[in-house]
């Protein structure tokens, strides 16, 4: 029975009486449980809505994301088992459609649980999807694919010095960008204490454009670093070097959560700084 179960995987929109069925909503790749907030009370009193909370989003912001559909489907499937005491319906949007399809297969083949229905949107049927192989074609092809998707500041992608300083090079930078997108989903574009039940950090300080005090200080340090080499404006390396001076700052947490090997990065930046001061 699902009564009393509190799952980190689902935001529950409960019913006054015991639910007769459950609708499980799976968001798109850039989405979160909040995407389905309006659905929570959109159905009759017998339908309980479960909005799926992916790791790395909103309430689960500090958790590492899952980068394989198969692994995500395994986790969602296991988390759904306690809620299968009434008929289940899945709805998935875009990437969530693929997750929903994989979850449906696992529920039936592994546990004998047949869904009442699987609804999808913005996704082709599995047998009509064209396999993507861009990741096999080298760094430049991968960068071009990311640029084509939009929503990413091209300065980071176009700065070869910044890419080279990261352990793992370009693939690591792209992974970091993906993680940053997830954090934007969780926190909003500016620091806020009222992001819709998201677990967002409270408002911090009065820096420019809503920046945190740490970000403001890092930008000042980056400008000074650029000036020390005769530069008129700070670059990506200047800002990154300013952030890594404080190993406990939020930026360092972001790097760790994105899977960046922080210590080699700090060492590489220290070497670059020495070369800059003696060059």
CA distance 48 to 82: 14
43-76: burial string, b at 16+ Cβ within 10 Å, e else: eeeebbbbbbbbbbbbbbbeeebbeeeeebbbbb
Q: 7, 32, 94, 121: which is the annotated catalytic residue?
A: 94
Q: Measured on CA atoms in the order 238, 240, 243, 244, is the torsion positive or negative? A: negative
94 as an active site residue: the answer is: yes
Residues 6+ apart with CB under 8 A from 251: 214, 215, 218, 243, 244
DSSP conformation class of 64: P
Judge contact between 48 and 23, C-beta under 8 A.
yes
Judge contact between 274 and 241, C-beta under 8 A.
no
What is the CB neighbour count within 10 angstroms for residue 27?
Answer: 24
Tell me which residues are annotated as active site: 94
């Amino acid at each position: 029975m699902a009564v009393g179960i509190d799952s980190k995987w689902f935001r529950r929109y409960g019913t006054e009486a015991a639910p007769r069925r459950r609708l499980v909503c799976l968001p798109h790749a850039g989405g979160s449980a909040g995407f389905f907030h309006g659905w929570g009370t959109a159905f009759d009193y017998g339908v309980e809505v479960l909005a799926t909370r992916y790791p790395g989003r909103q309430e689960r912001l500090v958790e590492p994301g899952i980068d394989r559909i198969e692994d995500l489907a395994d986790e969602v499937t296991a988390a759904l088992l306690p809620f299968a005491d009434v008929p289940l319906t899945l709805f998935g949007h875009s990437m969530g459609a693929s997750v929903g399809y994989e979850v449906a297969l696992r529920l039936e083949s592994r546990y004998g649980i047949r869904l009442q229905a699987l609804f999808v949107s913005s996704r082709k049927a599995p047998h009509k999807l064209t396999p993507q192989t861009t990741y096999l074609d080298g760094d430049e092809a991968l960068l071009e694919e990311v640029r084509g998707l939009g929503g990413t500041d091209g300065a980071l992608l176009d700065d070869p010095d910044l890419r080279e300083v990261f352990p793992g090079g370009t693939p690591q930078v792209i992974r970091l960008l993906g993680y940053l997108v997830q954090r934007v989903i969780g926190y909003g574009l500016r620091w806020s204490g009222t992001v819709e039940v998201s677990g967002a950090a409270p408002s911090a300080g009065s820096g420019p454009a809503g920046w945190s005090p740490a970000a403001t200080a890092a930008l000042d340090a980056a400008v000074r670093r650029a000036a020390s080499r005769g530069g008129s404006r700070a670059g990506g390396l200047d800002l990154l070097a300013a952030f890594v001076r404080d190993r406990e700052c939020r930026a360092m947490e972001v790097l760790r959560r994105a899977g960046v090997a922080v210590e080699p990065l700090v060492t590489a930046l220290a070497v670059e700084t020495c070369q800059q001061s003696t060059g």
